[in-house]
Amino acid sequence: MVDVSGKALTTRTARAEARVTMSAEAAAALRAATLPKGDAFVAAQLAGVMAAKDTARLIPLAHPLPLAHVDVRFEWEGDQLRIESTATTSAQTGVEMEAMVAASIAALTIYDMTKAVDKGIAIAGVRLLEKTGGKSGRWTAP
């Protein structure tokens, strides 16, 4: 792990996204909440939050962080679902990985919940959108 012991404690935030592309049939079932496994959005939101909290266990060299807030939201763009996650902490290192893990696991949960309708679902575009805090300050994706 990188030594962050000399860094100041600052409030840090990160926003990330993932995109889930699916058939019109899968999107309709997801929107109507008629999936055999139940409410995919609730499951994916909880999975994303839980995953953010487990980031240091999942990513070998990530620091364990005291998360102050994690949020996972969903937005439709046609038949593509955009998942956006936000993570916040007051720590010596950033929460970019926590935000990206939350978006990724939420997307995988959507796949798991809808695969009975469409096995060709694709997850793409997992990326950091913005980070704030720390020595480097604010960064926003171009």
10-133 CATH fold: Alpha-Beta Plaits (3.30.70)
DSSP state of 9: P
pLDDT of 29: 94
- SS3 of 127, please? strand
pLDDT of 1: 87
pLDDT of 136: 87
Catalytic residue among 54, 71, 79, 112: 112
pLDDT of 39: 93
pLDDT of 134: 87
- Of 68, 69, 67, 73, whose CA–CA distance to 85 is shortest? 73
Q: Is 71 annotated in the active site?
A: no
Residue 90 has φ and ψ, to the nearest 5°, of -115, 105
Which residue stretches of the chain have pLDDT < 50? none
In sequence order, what are the residues at sequence separation of 6 or more whose Cβ sits closer than 8 angstroms to the Cβ of residue 97?
A: 55, 59, 62
pLDDT of 140: 97
**How do the domains of the chain map onto residue ranges?**
10-133
